[in-house]
Structure 1
């Protein structure tokens, strides 16, 4: 009897190995599904807008318009008028995470956001971009963000250190939140489905009882779809909040 680890679904597999001198590059299953996540949504947008759309929107056109309006309202509410110029970045970020999370729900696919290196790379990129924007707008005055207004002067050294650590940890917490939720949910589904499948191989009452974990797995699949959408929303709205802090120094 073979026992498979529920963590095997997160294994990185090299599809096209490449060597350039002493450096090793490889097109992996993670790379493939990142390209699919981006390419499928781009193809959908092109197909919907190829003829300028229709007055009576099709279901696919309605979906694209709904996502577009959702991100527009998110940027307007969280960042304001000055955040509109950053809408393309936020829209791309949201759609990439949403597609990556949802594609990962398909059996035998791969969830790119279940790897910390991917989510950490995104979060660090967002952190660096937001910091650069803050310095571009405010210059050295951006450092005033580290000292809350009205704080006692005697406490300023401690407050600056605390605020600085809190600010830097944004780069880590943003990625960890997404990675942990996606990995934990997929692992739980894999464990329960494996348990239910093992019970089916038995006989008698235990075989009938296998319907219980199967029902739980079925319910968890719907829950995981909700978590996939929610995590894309949380990552994007936190990016909007950080961008608002950099622009308005709140």
Structure 2
């Protein structure tokens, strides 16, 4: 049992390693370990469903292909059109990385790397910077028109330009905070309820049946948290596609 709900988010060095003396610490931590596990799981999930020896796909292959078709048709193509199909492998990998990482973090005594702001911020900023560079490469100086709404009077143009620019920059931070906050709050709530259920079961209360009520509550919260884990991956992917649409087509 953890001593407090925040202890599950501690970064622990598993294999210490310092590069150039102690100047750079590149040790293998529990966070990096579970990111590596997530990457290997993605490879197993995607490569394991490919079978050229079977005429009819099995249930697992149908399930993965359904996710593939849903992301390709209902998200990437619907939001970004034909131009966005070029970026579909990136969106598909992003969805699998976040969703599988979140689901692995739901296993007891594992670690959820998306519950750390440094991970989600690095992930969101990398996409934000990449989309910005892509937009500048595709449109040149015309990319600045993204910060100028159509039909704006010249008098209000400087003010609205600043507002649109701040709104654009905040995208990278809002993505990171949304994913980090939901995963951290959900895991902390599960830990608190688990500790409460353990206390109730060992308290020898007056009505024994009431001792099992926290068990039912934590089970429902746990199932809800699994849904949130998948939903956050979906929301992150959809928002990236919306930002990609602005990059491809501007206003």
Aligned ranges 1:184-195 → 2 under 5 Å = 184-195=185-196
Q: Equivalents in 1 of 2:41, 2:190: separation in Å?
A: 26
Aligned ranges 1:146-225 → 2 under 5 Å = 146-205=147-206, 207-225=208-226
Q: Does 1:56 align with 2:56?
A: yes
Q: Which residue of 2 aligns with 1:123?
A: 124
Q: Give unmatched runs, 5+ long, in structure 1.
A: none
Q: Give unmatched runs, 5+ long, in structure 2.
A: none
Q: Does 1:114 align with 2:99?
A: no
Give aligned pairs, total. Answer: 248
Query: Over the residues paired in the alignment, what is the CA RMSD in angstroms?
Result: 1.4
Q: Equivalents in 2 of 1:54, 1:168: separation in Å?
A: 49
Q: CA deviation at 1:208?
A: 3.5
Helix, strand or coil at the partner of 1:6: coil
Aligned ranges 1:1-250 → 2 under 5 Å = 4-21=3-20, 22-49=23-50, 51-52=51-52, 54-73=54-73, 74-205=75-206, 207-250=208-251
Q: CA deviation at 1:207?
A: 4.7
Q: CA deviation at 1:47?
A: 2.1
Taking structure 1 as the reference length, the TM-score comes to 0.96
Q: After superposition, what is the alpha-carbon deviation per residue over 1:180-201, rounded to whole angstroms, capped at 9, x for unaligned?
A: 0011011001101101101111
Q: Equivalents in 1 of 2:16, 2:179: separation in Å?
A: 28
Q: After superposition, what is the alpha-carbon deviation per residue over 1:84-113, rounded to whole angstroms, capped at 9, x for unaligned?
A: 111111111011001001111111111111
The verdict on how the C-alpha distance between 1:164 and 1:209 changes in structure 2, with shifts beyond 3 A counting, is: same
Contact 1:98 1:232 in 2 (8 A): yes
Q: CA deviation at 1:24?
A: 1.4
Q: Equivalents in 1 of 2:183, 2:170: separation in Å?
A: 20
Q: Equivalents in 2 of 1:10, 1:142: separation in Å?
A: 40
Contact 1:120 1:172 in 2 (8 A): yes
Contact 1:113 1:182 in 2 (8 A): yes
Taking structure 2 as the reference length, the TM-score comes to 0.95
Q: CA deviation at 1:44?
A: 2.4
Pick which of 178-187 and 55-64 moved more: 55-64
